[in-house]
Amino acid sequence: MKVGVLGAGTMGAGIAQVAAQAGHQVVLVDLNQNVIDKAKADLEKVLNRLIEKGKLTSEASQDIQNRFTYSTATADFADCGIIIEAIVEKLTVKHAVFQELESIVSEDCILASNTSSLPIASIGSVLKNPSRIIGIHFFNPAPLMPLVEIIPAVQTTTEVVDKAKNLIDSWKKITVLCKDTPGFIVNRVARPFYGEALRIYEEGIADFATIDWAMTELAGFRMGPYTLMDYIGNDINYTVTESVFTAFYFDPRYKPSFTQKRHFEAGYLGRKSGRGYYNYTEDAVMPEPVKDLVVGQQIVDRILVMLMNEAIDALFLNVASKTDIDLAMVNGVNYPKGLLAWAEEKSLTWVLEKLQTLFEEYGEDRYRPSPLLKRLVQQGKSTF
């Protein structure tokens, strides 16, 4: 099957590389010739690095590059079996593009979007045949991150879902199926990792470095929340939070934080701007955490139960299966364990008691335990 990728930016270029490495002919299209030239040059660099490391032969590298057709014209998608769109995150632009794509491709060509935040049902609504729309959400960098969320819209046929899932599985990715709901799995379930860490700082319980120390050293996360937000960029992370909050009709559980907004407004975007929660300029000294084990454990427990509650609520609302929710967090954001398995390990009673204590102390809806958690504990169950 010939694979079309629209948009040769960060995500599109990576997705095209994955498809070509899996043996497909790939048509990579972007409006901007400079972006295409960069994608082409970057691919050559990446493949050369793989050759140097002995992970690829120069023949294989040449084969991969020969499978590419680069173009600025969507007409070149005519004989593709699937198009994956990875252009700017604007619904009006995506609508125009998908209508154009439908007029070019064959009737059974799957039309997929890599959107992070737009409803798939809404993207597909402009198509004459919306049953072929699907979300195929890769993580950045696409060639390295194993997870791909597959998101059928209400209009999508099961045949399209199966075809898309089988295809991405054959690219050696870990696919998870999820409902067309805000943030899909990862960007929804991960919100408290940032939100609760920001809240803990705002209450003056600990500083950035201490919260990061607790989450890495005591909880085993690869990066602390503040290091990670600086890595992602406070502009991007804040925008995702705000869009999830809005999309959930202002559910207080997803409320954005003023601390992050002010950092974003000040241009403290993180690593890319030289300063975020930490200072990345050359002579800057990284702050030392206060390694108080009692405070550290309080921080870990509070963020962890909020994450677990989010995962449990996603299960409760059938956003995805238990297996897929855990696979998503381990393979999409490198969590040390799946949150549902972790909750079972800590015990569901422990999770519920911690949440109830927070809920009673603050009286905020943000801390309400998921009905599924309450139900299971009431029934004396220890697993989901």
Ligand X SMILES: NC(=O)c1ccc[n+]([C@@H]2O[C@H](COP(=O)([O-])OP(=O)(O)OC[C@H]3O[C@@H](n4cnc5c(N)ncnc54)[C@H](O)[C@@H]3O)[C@@H](O)[C@H]2O)c1
- 102, 149, 196, 344: the catalytic one is 149
Do the Cβ atoms of 138 and 111 come closer than 8 Å? no
Residues 207-246 binding ligand X (CB under 6 A) are none
Least CB distance from residue 230 to ligand X, whole Å? 15
| Selected catalytic residue, list 24, 61, 85, 137 | 137
CB of 14 to ligand X, least distance (A): 8
Residue closer to ligand X (CB basis): 8 or 311: 8
Using CB under 6 A, which of 57, 140, 166, 323 touches ligand X?
140
DSSP 161: H
Is 6 strand, coil or helix? Answer: strand
Q: Known catalytic residue: 382?
A: no
**Binding status of residue 11 toward ligand X by CB under 6 A:** yes
Residue 7, interface with ligand X (CB under 6 A)? yes
Residue 84 or 300 having the CB closest to ligand X: 84
Give the one residue of 17, 21, 61, 115 binding ligand X; rule: CB under 6 A. Answer: 115
**Which long-range contacts does 345-351 make (Cβ < 8 Å, 24+ apart)?**
346/304, 346/308, 347/382, 348/373, 348/376, 348/377, 348/381, 348/382, 349/377, 351/305, 351/308, 351/309, 351/312
CB of 298 to ligand X, least distance (A): 32
Q: Give me 184's structure tokens.
A: 């899909």
Choice between 47 and 240, CB closer to ligand X = 240
Nearer to ligand X, 83 or 373 (CB): 83
Residue nearest to ligand X (CB): 9
β-bridge partners, 174: 147
Q: Which helix (H) or strand (E) holds 4?
A: strand 3-6
Distance CA 210, CA 292 (A): 9
In angstroms, what CA-CA distances link 360 with 150, 189, 367?
38, 23, 9
Beta carbon nearer to ligand X, 115 or 227: 115
Part of the chain binding ligand X (CB under 6 A), chosen from 24-32, 200-208, 246-254, 359-367:
24-32
**Which 56-95 positions form the footprint of ligand X (CB under 6 A)?**
86-89, 93
What is the contact mask toward ligand X in residues 33 to 52, using x (rule: CB under 6 A)?
--x-----------------
Annotated active-site residue in 113, 187, 243, 257: 187
Q: Terminal CA-to-CA distance of the chain, rounded, Å? A: 39
β-strand pairing of 133-138 with 147-152: antiparallel
Under the binding rule (CB under 6 A), the answer on residue 114 touching ligand X is: yes
Output 186 or 206, the one with its CB closest to ligand X. Answer: 186
Smallest Cα–Cα separation from 18: which of 167, 162, 230, 119?
Answer: 167
Q: Which residues share a beta bridge with 177?
A: 150
Interface residue with ligand X among 5, 30, 196, 330 (CB under 6 A) is: 30
The residue to which tokens 């602390």 are assigned = 224
Q: How far apart are CA 286 and CA 365, in angstroms?
A: 36
The token duo for 365 is: 């809806």
- Does position 116 interact with ligand X (CB under 6 A)? The reply is yes
**3, 4, 5, 12: which one contacts ligand X (CB under 6 A)?**
12
State yes or no: residue 143 binds ligand X (CB under 6 A). Answer: no
CB of 361 to ligand X, least distance (A): 36
- Residue 363 CA to residue 304 CA, distance in Å, equals 19
137 catalytic, yes or no?
A: yes
- Interaction with ligand X in 119-138: which residues (CB under 6 A)? 138
Q: Which is nearer to ligand X, 35 or 121 (CB)?
A: 35
Q: Which two tokens stand for residue 172?
A: 């050696």
Q: Please tell me the distance from the alpha carbon of residue 185 to that of residue 175, in angstroms, as a whole number.
A: 12
Note whether 6 binds ligand X by CB under 6 A.
yes
Interface residue with ligand X, options 2, 3, 4, 8 (CB under 6 A):
8
> CA-to-CA distance for 215 and 343, rounded, in angstroms?
16
| C-alpha to C-alpha distance for 215 and 224, rounded to whole angstroms | 5
Total binding residues toward ligand X, as defined by CB under 6 A: 22
Query: What are φ and ψ of residue 273, in 5° steps?
Result: -105, 5
344 binds ligand X (CB under 6 A): no
Residues lying near ligand X in the complex (CB under 6 A): 6-12, 30-32, 35, 86-89, 93, 97, 114-116, 138, 140
Q: Which residues carry out catalysis?
A: 116, 137, 149, 187
